[in-house]
Amino acid sequence: MPNEIRVRFAPSPTGYLHIGGVRTALYNWLFARQNAGKFILRIEDTDLNRSTAEAIRWILDGLDWMGLDWDEGPFVQTERLDLYNEHIDRLLASGKAYRCFCTPAELDAMRKKALAQNLPLKYDGRCRNLKEGERSGEHTLRFKAPQDGQIVIDDLIRGSVTFDQTQMDDLIIRRSDGSPTYNLTVVVDDALMGVTHVIRGEDHLSNTPRQVQLYEAFGYLVPKFGHMSLILGPDREKLSKRHGAASISEFMEMGYLPEALVNYLVRLGWSHGDQEIFSLEEVLEHWRLEDVGKSPAVFDHQKLEWLNGQWMKRVPSGEIARRLIPFLEKTGVVDQAPDLEWLEKLVLTLRERSLTLVEMAGKADFYFKELPYEAEPAQKFLTTDIEPLMEKAGEFLETVDPFDHETLYSKTKDWLETRGLKLKVLAQPLRVALTFRKDSPGLFEVMEVLGKEKTLKRIARAREWIRNQ
């Protein structure tokens, strides 16, 4: 399949999966799926000092959670070192690479000097034309970068971008410890894996011309590039940990839904009419890489939260119930796995008023166990005045059958009306009695989920509390 579209996501396993990386993965995945292409996962771990197996796990888990499945890989670069060495040898043999004996200290001094004189920070190429044996010892390998002409990149998102080769320095392709560096490994891998479209963050744009030089040096076909704008923090700098949550695991822990995150991330720099809510299927149908905007976007937690609230109501309640369990366990109110069917009913009462799973779990506690009354509403609503009516209400509720919210609502209303009372007078006291606080789901929904027995028990407990005041 020579015309097959092949894209890749190539994170380095040096920490949590950044939300910007998730967006990159998403765009690549979408592009592959829309074009019946292949989505390749590659782990770029050539920085031995910073890469960890744990981070690889986080990446895989994050993609899995987002529902982004890959077709090939994960390939791991440290397992492909022979390939890189072979390519480096080729450059050496054709005179396109050379040994550089400059020490880190020497290079650092060069940089400092250039900075002080306001000159471009560029390696001066002093080892470029060394005579055999002129210097020896520990050395790196540098690519002999072409020094004239221009490189024009026809970027899928940005349009035509031109770079002058004059200011491109000879980048290091092999460290003194013998390991290959990023710019070499990406090019070798992308070429060997047949990657046709490189979709990545704008922070890689200035790397692109150097990579193009390498493609040309190897005689490989240059892929198409698409550089997406970055996600910014409120201060308009690249989003990072210091702006708060920036990694996908944090969003998972905060009780966000992958549906909402996908929706939010895809709307950063892209739109389709006035539509705000997109399922993955809808995104697949409407999203186009070439419609993606060029300007960077500030990450807006509040809008994500709103979107998540929308998805809390859209994802099937049984599914929400299932995902809620770990969050309930974390709150410590549940000791054993709750019945899923019952949990789903509970979810139905809470989904309209919960922006995240964390919030929902927090609001669900009263369903599981009796809690101390919140001081202020207890004082205000659990009064000796109301106690007799609560007693009567308890007696009346015992007779209601079936014990579902519709029946409860209409019968309670009728019962109160025959006594010339409005629901309002009883609603808040009952709410405090049943939920121990002033805000809760609808009173009768609460009763239904609680069941007759617990409902009556809690009313009795409230009356006792009043009498003890």
Partner RNA sequence: GGCCCCAUCGUCUAACGGUUAGGACGCCAGCCUCUCACGUUGGUAAUACGGGUUCGAAUCCCGUUGGGGUCACCA
Instruction: List active site positions.
Output: 241
Task: Give the separation between CA 364 and CA 435, rounded to whole angstroms.
Answer: 9
By the rule CB under 7 A, 85 interacts with RNA: no
Instruction: Specify the residue, 238 or 323, whose C-beta has the smaller distance to RNA.
Output: 238
Long-range (24+ apart) CB contacts under 8 A made by 397-401 are: 397/447, 397/452, 397/455, 397/456, 397/459, 398/452, 398/456, 400/452
Total interface residues for RNA by CB under 7 A: 90
Residue 44 dihedral angles phi and psi, to the nearest 5°:
-100, 90
d(C-alpha 57, C-alpha 392), whole Å: 59
Our CB check for RNA shows the closer of 72 and 305 to be 305
- The footprint of RNA on residues 376-435 (CB under 7 A) is 409, 423-424, 427-428, 431
Q: Is 230 in the site for RNA (CB under 7 A)?
A: yes
CA-CA distance, 303 to 308, in Å (whole number)? Answer: 8
Q: Which of 86, 124, 237, 464 binds RNA (CB under 7 A)?
A: 237
Least distance in Å: CB of 336 to RNA?
A: 28
Which residues, 358 to 387, sit near RNA by CB under 7 A?
none
> β-strand 140-143 against 97-100: which pairing, if any?
antiparallel
Looking at residues 156 to 175 of the shown chain, list those that interact with RNA (rule: CB under 7 A): 158-159, 161-164, 167, 169, 172, 175
Residue 298 binds to RNA (criterion: CB under 7 A): yes
Answer for which of 269, 283, 317, 458 binds RNA (CB under 7 A) is: 269
64 binds RNA (CB under 7 A): no
Q: Is the peptide bond before 180 cis (omega within 30 degrees of 0)?
A: no
Member of 5, 7, 9, 11 binding RNA (CB under 7 A): 11
Q: Whole-angstrom Cα distance, residue 369 to residue 374?
A: 15
What b/e string do you get for 97-107 counting C-beta neighbours within 10 Å, with b at 16 or more? bbbbbbeeeee
What is the C-alpha to C-alpha distance for residues 129 and 42, in angstroms, rounded to an integer? 36
By C-beta, is 3 or 162 nearer to RNA?
Answer: 162
Instruction: Write the binding mask 96 to 135 for RNA: x where contact by CB under 7 A, - elsewhere.
Output: ------xxx--x---x------xxxxxx------------
- The CB-of-390 to RNA minimum distance in angstroms stands at 15
Integer-rounded Cα radius of gyration of the chain: 31
Under a CB-based contact definition with an 8 Å cutoff, are residues 258 and 27 in contact? no
44 vs 387, which CB is nearer to RNA?
44
Identify which of residues 4 and 422 has a Cβ nearer to RNA in the complex: 422
Q: Which one of 183, 196, 356, 455 is in contact with RNA (CB under 7 A)? A: 183
Element (H, E) at 388: helix 387-399
- Please choose, out of 9-17, 126-134, 318-326, 367-375, the segment that lies near RNA by the rule CB under 7 A: 9-17
